[in-house]
Amino acid sequence: MTRILLVEDEESYRVPLAYRLEKDGFEVAQAATGPDAVELFAASGADLVLLDLMLPGMEGTQVCREIRRTSDVPVIMLTAKDDEIDKVVGLELGADDYVTKPYSYRELLARVRAVLRRRGDLSVSDEHAPSDAIAVGRISMDTVRHEVSVAGELVAVPLREFELLEMFLRNPDRVLTRGPLT
């Protein structure tokens, strides 16, 4: 199983992200500070590191350097502002990619998979992994290709509707109640 070290001090980002990554088949270790991240990586390693830039104790840039001393593990930086990207790129930290907050989970997952594929990690699920393809009744969707078909015919679905539909299809036995009509 592909192991991700998720380094993010904001619990409201970290916990839901870890949960979704685990649902998509990754093993996730979490660290909330720079020093914790370095320590955890030294102790247990990882196949990929998702690294927040602004961290308590030690900045993400320094964490990346520390990790790079001993490992060429893929690193994706999570940055909050555009000007921070300049910092990440300018410092030539050896990060493999970066994602700007707020990011969509789908975008992040696509980058995680792309980076792992580039590194030739064969344990990474490709487009045909079971979790990417959902079929309920006549409707099927491919969450990586972002395609929906009804009875075999492709239909165009905007992103918001796509995510809603995915939620419905992943919870086929749950009753989802609507709010009061206005």
On the CB side of 172, how many CA atoms lie within 13 Å of its CA?
8
Smallest distance from the beta carbon of 96 to Ca ion, in angstroms? 19
Contact between 9 and Ca ion by CB under 5 A: the answer reads yes
- Binding positions for Ca ion, 82-121, rule CB under 5 A: none
Smallest distance from the beta carbon of 78 to Ca ion, in angstroms? 8
Neighbours of 117 (CB within 10 A): 12
Smallest distance from the beta carbon of 10 to Ca ion, in angstroms? 5
Tell me which of 47, 52, 66, 84 binds Ca ion, using CB under 5 A: 52
Q: For the chain, give me the number of helices (H) and strands (E)? A: 6, 9
Smallest distance from the beta carbon of 12 to Ca ion, in angstroms? 11
Nearer to Ca ion, 54 or 165 (CB): 54
Contact between 36 and Ca ion by CB under 5 A: the answer reads no
- Binding positions for Ca ion, 138-167, rule CB under 5 A: none
Which range in 49-57, 104-112, 115-123, 134-142 contacts Ca ion by CB under 5 A? 49-57
CA 119 from centre of chain? 16
CA of 89: how far to CAs of 66, 67, 84, 107, in Å?
17, 17, 9, 19
Contact between 54 and Ca ion by CB under 5 A: the answer reads yes
Contact between 47 and Ca ion by CB under 5 A: the answer reads no
Which of the 8 DSSP states describes residue 5? E
Angle at 124 between CA 105 and CA 10, to 5 degrees: 35
Contact between 32 and Ca ion by CB under 5 A: the answer reads no
Q: How many residues bind Ca ion (CB under 5 A)?
A: 3
Cβ(166)–Cβ(141) under 8 Å? Answer: yes
* SS3 state at 56: coil
Q: Which residues bind Ca ion (CB under 5 A)?
A: 9, 52, 54
